[in-house]
Amino acid sequence: MSRHHTPEHPVEPWYRQGWPWFLIMFPAIAVVAGIATLVIAARTFDGMVVDDYYKEGQAIVQTIGRVERARELGLRAALEVRSDALELALSATDAANLPERLLVTVAHPTRGGLDQVVIAERANGAYSARLAPLSTGRWLFVIEDESRSWRMDGAAYLPGEMRITIDPNA
């Protein structure tokens, strides 16, 4: 039985029916999500892509050599992170070779803008440095001498791990 359009059953305009709006909704959501993604991509710099892969490879090889040098010296560090400072106890096979100052890099794995490089001064056998507050999350710690002849790396999830032991021999 077919339905005829009569004055008793007038045809409603398309914009008053539900199905066209339901079908338009999905492409409209995709367009809005695409624009939001474009805005986020344009405003955020991830800093993870490098232009010169060869130099990066050479730097990795040099880093491995510097970690080996830390092993040869028998270095070991106990790092304590506080809200506004860090304290570091450094030991070596020959304690007379310990430097007066250390470079400590505190890096966020994904947000380069939060990274800090501080100089830790030795006083009373321990090193200390002021530090800007660190947010909750995983942080990487790199300890080096000023001449950058050796290097030690460690990581911690703050605020759960406020004491970190860094031992290149482990």
How many domains are there within the chain?
2
31 and 105 in a single domain? The answer is no
Q: Alpha-carbon distance 23 to 47, whole Å?
A: 40
Which residues constitute the domain of residue 150? 53-166
Residues 6+ apart with CB under 8 A from 79: 86, 87, 88, 141, 143, 154, 163, 164, 165, 166
pLDDT at 53: 66
Can you tell me the mean pLDDT for 57-73?
79
Does residue 3 register a pLDDT over 60?
Answer: no
26 and 104 in a single domain? The answer is no
Residue 6's alpha-carbon distances to 1, 9, 60, 96, 142, in angstroms, are 15, 5, 81, 103, 82
Can you tell me the mean pLDDT for 62-87?
87
pTM of the complete model? 0.65
Query: What would the pLDDT profile of 87-123 be if each residue is shown by its tens digit?
Result: 999 988 888 878 899 999 999 988 878 899 999 999 8
Mean pLDDT of the chain: 85
In a domain, 98, yes or no: yes
96 and 136 in a single domain? The answer is yes
